[in-house]
Amino acid sequence: MNTANNTSNGGTWLDLLANGANGADVHSWPAVRVRDASLAGAPARFIAVVPDADNRFPRARTGEVGLVEGWRLAQAVHEVIDADRAAARKRPIVAVIDVTSQAYGRREEAFGIHQALAGAAGAYAQARLAGHPVIGLIVGLAMSGAFLAHGYQANRLIAFDDPGVMVHAMGKASAARITLRSVEALEALAQSVPPMAYDIHSYASLGLLWKVLQPISAAAPSADDVALVTATLEAALADIDNDSRKDLATRFDGEHRAASRRVRQLLREQWKGAASA
């Protein structure tokens, strides 16, 4: 078992949901933890990215998804795809999400972090399209390219309504610098522009979350919290099994996705018009 890096919500919840603190990780990887455990009475794979203070890449020491993490996420998912290729019942994959960002650095850019993150995202998408129920459980931060690589491709996304949970392209301070605004001005703008907001309910209004849960604590879960999350994961698995679609089209049904739906409609009409011309 990996005990050195359990200082994140991701590591905590991985242990609680997958065989407890004495369970065994599939690999001895320090930053990408993989567990095979049971979900709804059947085998499942649980994956989390955790901090690694000794990471040889300094930019990936506090829970970021870097070069190595991206490729190891891809490997962990492809192992399941390959093992279940001929199986009638595909194993569920649960991405336990608490990722601070992708790793920003010259070495990361030089060695192709875009390929590593694309490899991870592509692996999750391949698993979903191959029939593996993929569930993303957001227990902490889900930021920037790290979230795109780890969990965003899930059939169902579940998030905690907790002060420590946030989904966004970048943190407030970074967004303020990029937009040449103060943090206060950015927060005021978020009141009228939901995609700019940082609270989980604004994100949910975009249609991307299947459920929002209210545990007593995301960082220090109670037994009731674990029971709530386990039951919700099982419900998500049943919902996926009852849905013949494997794409992510339902994410466009959110109350604040009208413009997205309209743009996609116009693109389809233009494409059909060009094809028939």
pLDDT tens by residue, 155-165: 999 999 999 99
Whether pLDDT at 4 is above 70: no
CA contacts within 13 A on the Cβ side of 239: 16
What pLDDT score was predicted for residue 202? Answer: 85
Whether pLDDT at 242 is above 60: yes
**264 within domain boundaries:** yes
Considering the domain architecture, whether residues 204 and 112 belong to the same structural domain is answered as yes
Q: Which of 244, 165, 249, 177 is nearest to 208 (CA)?
A: 249
Considering the domain architecture, whether residues 206 and 271 belong to the same structural domain is answered as no
**pTM for the full predicted model:** 0.91
Considering the domain architecture, whether residues 134 and 209 belong to the same structural domain is answered as yes
**How many residues are present in the chain?**
277
Whether pLDDT at 55 is above 60: yes
Whether pLDDT at 1 is above 70: no
Mean pLDDT taken over the chain: 91
**13 within domain boundaries:** yes
Considering the domain architecture, whether residues 254 and 211 belong to the same structural domain is answered as no
**50 within domain boundaries:** yes
**168 within domain boundaries:** yes
Number of domains in the chain: 2
Considering the domain architecture, whether residues 196 and 115 belong to the same structural domain is answered as yes
Q: Which domain does 129 fall in, by range?
A: 9-246
CATH classification of the domain holding 40: 3.90.226.10
**2 within domain boundaries:** no
CA–CA dist 33, 48 (Å, integer): 5
Considering the domain architecture, whether residues 172 and 267 belong to the same structural domain is answered as no
CA–CA dist 69, 83 (Å, integer): 21
What pLDDT score was predicted for residue 274? Answer: 73
Pull the structure tokens for residue 4.
């050195």
Considering the domain architecture, whether residues 222 and 264 belong to the same structural domain is answered as no
What pLDDT score was predicted for residue 277? Answer: 65
Buried/exposed code over 80-92 (b: 16+ C-beta within 10 A; e: otherwise): bbeebeeeeebbb
Whether pLDDT at 149 is above 80: yes
User: 32-39 and 166-168 as β-strands: parallel, antiparallel, unpaired?
Assistant: unpaired
Considering the domain architecture, whether residues 150 and 260 belong to the same structural domain is answered as no
**4 within domain boundaries:** no
The residue type found at 40 is: A
Considering the domain architecture, whether residues 195 and 276 belong to the same structural domain is answered as no
Considering the domain architecture, whether residues 238 and 253 belong to the same structural domain is answered as no
**3 within domain boundaries:** no
Considering the domain architecture, whether residues 27 and 91 belong to the same structural domain is answered as yes
Considering the domain architecture, whether residues 80 and 122 belong to the same structural domain is answered as yes
